[in-house]
Amino acid sequence: MKIGIIVSFFDFRADVRDLIKELQSMGHEVVLFARSGELASIQQQQMPGVVYREIREDISNWRNRLLEYAFLLFKKLPKSRHNYYLMELFKISNAPSSKAKFIGKITLAIQRLGINTVSYDFLIQQLQYSGNTHLDDIDQFIGFTEFPSDYLAARVVKEKKPLKVYVYSWDHPCKHTRFSKAFYYMVWSDCIKNDLLELQHVPAGQVKVVGATQFSYIWDYKQQVYSQASKPFPYPYVYYCCAIGIKELVPQEVAIIKTIAAKLATIQPDWKLVVRPYPVLDAWGMYKTLHAVSNIILDDDYRKNPFPSPKAANDDKYAKIQAARLVLHTGSTIGLEACLLDTPAFLIDFGYGKNRKGLSVYGFIHQYQNEKYLLDRRGGIESLNTLGEMLRTSEMPTHHSQEIAANFPLNSMKHMAMKIIDDTKN
């Protein structure tokens, strides 16, 4: 079978590359489709046997531009609007110029007026596409959220191409807007399927549970035998995993870390607070004040000395999670990973100050997926005093981690690859 993979953010998705390798090992041919601006960097990943094709469907005319602006300003939003607004504020904060930030703020202000009537299906049904991308030899297409090309989506739907879209992350149903009722979707688990139905109103018959490709590395890790004598650090420690990549909010997370370190020093003076900086934040200098805190260890080797493979990087991370007495974070997939590794893990739900509107740490913590899968399942710590009581206990509680992990069953990449290309509904 010849499979067309429609990708974006390819550099950051090692699991997608491993999925492609698995499909190839099963005897399938793979063609990668990407927009022109991303194709060169994608080709640098050196995927032997993969054919690369540029997506060339855009047509610039007054009709298409009018449709694009209508969707931008008046598009239907997911039911969990808080997540969408937070993501847009994040994009505005990272805009390259003051002009871009101003336009972003005006756009968001219009979206907040509530005139959210233009559906994604309307957009792709009305767009005029070129038909210049060679698609006719592809037996099955696989895309990932958020779908990278509206024009390709328009053509695929119009020509009734066999397309499946993999919902890449647990927060994508909560914040993205490019969900079509004409697409067939694949999701991590039953609970993410329910999110897709509730938040994006996708028909239930068009959603299939296949597993989380990001967590296939945990499945692999659990099949291996590691020496219990091998410890990542020669002292007991709490592992704090930074979750915030929004520059305006990083100082607040740093302040939370220092507060936790002070409490830990008082209650467990022999312990360390090992802090894992947010990997894709490009301004790691914002963490430099943590070096001055005596019981904080900055776990930044993975940035200074990159690992030779994604497997090595993940094995290192998982070993540090498993050896920790406790994992703390402010809302991250790594919190799920800790639960899947049977480690006590809690979301810090305190220390963010009085600001709870707009771009705030409180808003970041209280995203839809964090509340539903972590806070509502006793996976949060609501005060510094509660953390102190926990640190005094001889054994950290794990029952909540097990309850959270039950929502996200682990599978091997091979198992998921077979389910992804299988056309059966279940």
Q: What is the pLDDT of residue 223?
A: 87
Pair 220, 309: CB distance under 8 Å: no
In sequence order, which ranges of 270-423 are alpha helices (DSSP H)?
A: 301-304, 310-323, 333-340, 361-365, 368-373, 384-392, 399-405, 413-421
Give yes or no: residues 134 and 208 share one domain.
yes
SS3 of residue 251 by DSSP: helix
Give yes or no: residues 207 and 66 share one domain.
no
In the predicted structure, residue 229 carries a pLDDT above the cut 80:
no
Q: Is 426 inside a domain boundary?
A: no
CATH number of the domain enclosing 141: 3.40.50.2000
Mean pLDDT of 356-370: 88
Give yes or no: residues 71 and 36 share one domain.
no
SS3 of residue 270 by DSSP: coil
Give CA–CA dist 17/303, Å, rounded: 21
pTM of full prediction above 0.85: yes
Pair 20, 2: CB distance under 8 Å: no
Give yes or no: residues 354 and 322 share one domain.
yes
Give CA–CA dist 407/336, Å, rounded: 10
Pair 275, 257: CB distance under 8 Å: yes
Question: Domains in the chain: how many in total?
Answer: 3
Q: Is 200 inside a domain boundary?
A: yes
Give CA–CA dist 13/216, Å, rounded: 13
Structural domain range at position 29: 2-58+129-212+411-421
Share of the chain above pLDDT 90, in %: 76
Instruction: Note the pLDDT tens digit of each residue in 42-77.
Output: 888 788 999 999 999 999 999 999 999 999 999 999
* pLDDT interval class at 175 (50, 70, 90): very high
Give yes or no: residues 148 and 251 share one domain.
no
Give yes or no: residues 393 and 416 share one domain.
no
Give yes or no: residues 167 and 299 share one domain.
no
Q: Which of 70, 85, 111 is the last residue of a domain?
A: 111
Q: What is the pLDDT of residue 412?
A: 96
Q: What is the pLDDT of residue 53?
A: 94
Sign of CA dihedral 172, 174, 175, 178: positive
Give yes or no: residues 9 and 89 share one domain.
no
Q: What is the pLDDT of residue 426?
A: 63
Give yes or no: residues 233 and 316 share one domain.
yes
Q: Is 15 inside a domain boundary?
A: yes
Give yes or no: residues 49 and 158 share one domain.
yes
- Kindly state the tokens that stand for 176: 């993205």
Q: What is the pLDDT of residue 369?
A: 95
Q: Is 378 inside a domain boundary?
A: yes
- Kindly state the tokens that stand for 3: 């499979």
Task: State how beta strands 237-241 and 207-209 pair.
Answer: unpaired
